[in-house]
């Protein structure tokens, strides 16, 4: 049975059954009006998607994140930018890196943090998502960090929550994972410099189901990367993806030629409709990033993976642990990028309050 009952809009909570009881909605909510995530003077109010954000705003996130990266450890603990604010982590899907780094980021900014235990929450007793949100608002929440298997869940919450609350999308269905893409951009910038125009970037694997790939493509095109290549079997390539300004390759050897940055992706079995691959073994044989294949890229190419990485499926251990791998640097950067985004949305909320 298909896991992806695709529709373009998120259900209307007033007429539909509670979210927890609904099938997974897994298509893009489409481009957002910028007023959905920006204030009238162009500041970040919610962080839902990279699509449509101006390059200067992405640069601002990266610059601010760099400041947090360079703070000594003690100062990180004491940054008071979110003192008195309450952040609620709402993770309806599993996560290790994203949830933990959001948690560390909130703590380093001195926020009060609540990790809602979704498995034991009232949504599993049939409470609608909107009712859960209203109750959490009543407890004095200032920011929701949302991960959900439904594309557009974060948009839905942003649309209906109280105006003083900011929403950060921590991954929705196969639609977007904007903070992951920004930590990837920070990592690229640290190793390759601020100018993305000469860079050739290859993204390998299950592009079709990857919210990470979509957000990375938006970020890379906004930052004017020289060339973006998508490498993978036709069955894992979204239809019409070339419209996003990328080139697709089914031959990994050709796709890796002269590349500066290689991003490998996990096979998202949980989002696949049916058997889209002959076998894992064949996928690795045709698309696994081995040392031999890595040597087709530039000598100083970096290797990235958003995690969780499956060794021997999309990447060989020698490459994942090798000198060109920056995978753990990506994880470290996750804290700084999330600190940057959280502090930006809260300061734009404070400015809006002062004006009104």
Contact positions vs ligand MLT (CB under 6 A): 171, 177, 180, 211-212, 266, 306
Which residue, 164 or 269, is less far from ligand MLT as judged by CB?
A: 269
C-alpha–C-alpha distance, residues 256 and 253, integer Å: 6
Which residue, 213 or 256, is less far from ligand MLT as judged by CB?
A: 213
Distance of CA 134 to the CA centre of its chain: 25
* Shortest CB 322 distance to ligand MLT, Å: 20
String of DSSP letters for 45-71: S-B--STT--HHHHHHHHHHHHHHHHS
* Shortest CB 268 distance to ligand MLT, Å: 6
Element (H, E) at 231: strand 227-231
C-alpha–C-alpha distance, residues 11 and 199, integer Å: 40
Which residue, 128 or 151, is less far from ligand MLT as judged by CB?
A: 151
Residues 6+ apart with CB under 8 A from 284: 312, 313, 314
Contact yes or no for 166/106 (Cβ under 8 A): no
* Shortest CB 131 distance to ligand MLT, Å: 26
Which residue, 213 or 346, is less far from ligand MLT as judged by CB?
A: 213
DSSP code at position 105: H
Which residue, 26 or 142, is less far from ligand MLT as judged by CB?
A: 26
Spell 37-72 as b/e; 16+ CB within 10 A means b.
bbbeeebbbbbbbbbebeeebbeebbebbbebbeee
Which residue, 6 or 86, is less far from ligand MLT as judged by CB?
A: 6
């Amino acid at each position: 049975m298909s896991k992806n009952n695709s529709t373009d809009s998120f259900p209307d909570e007033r007429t539909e059954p509670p979210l927890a009881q609904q099938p997974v909605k897994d298509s893009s909510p489409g481009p957002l009006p910028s007023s959905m995530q920006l204030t009238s003077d162009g500041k970040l109010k919610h962080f839902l998607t990279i699509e449509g954000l101006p390059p200067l705003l992405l640069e601002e996130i990266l610059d601010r994140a760099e400041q947090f990266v360079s703070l000594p450890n003690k100062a990180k603990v004491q940054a008071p930018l979110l003192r008195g604010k309450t952040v609620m982590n709402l993770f309806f899907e599993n996560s290790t890196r994203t949830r933990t780094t959001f948690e560390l980021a909130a703590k380093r900014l001195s926020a009060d943090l609540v990790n809602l235990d979704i498995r034991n929450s009232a949504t599993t007793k049939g409470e609608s998502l909107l009712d859960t949100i209203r109750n959490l608002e009543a407890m004095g929440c200032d920011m929701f960090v949302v991960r959900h298997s439904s594309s557009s869940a974060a948009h839905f919450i942003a649309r209906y929550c109280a105006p003083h609350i900011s929403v950060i999308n921590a991954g929705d269905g196969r639609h977007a994972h904007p903070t992951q893409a920004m930590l990837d951009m920070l990592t690229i910038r640290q190793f390759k410099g601020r100018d993305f125009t000469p860079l050739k970037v290859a993204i390998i694997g299950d592009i079709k189901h990857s919210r990470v790939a979509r957000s990375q493509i938006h970020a890379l095109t906004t930052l004017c990367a020289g060339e973006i290549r998508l490498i993978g079997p036709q069955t894992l390539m979204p239809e019409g993806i070339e419209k996003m300004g990328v080139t697709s390759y089914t031959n990994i050897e050709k796709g890796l030629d002269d590349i500066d940055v290689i991003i490998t992706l996990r096979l998202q079995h949980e989002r696949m409709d049916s058997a889209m691959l002959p076998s894992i073994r064949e996928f690795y044989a045709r698309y696994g990033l081995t040392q031999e294949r890595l040597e087709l890229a530039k000598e100083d190419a970096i290797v990235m993976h958003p995690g969780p990485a499956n060794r021997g499926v999309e990447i060989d251990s020698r490459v994942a642990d090798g000198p060109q791998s920056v995978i753990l640097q990506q994880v470290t950067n996750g804290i700084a990028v999330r600190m940057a985004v959280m502090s930006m949305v809260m300061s734009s909320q404070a400015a809006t309050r002062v004006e009104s």
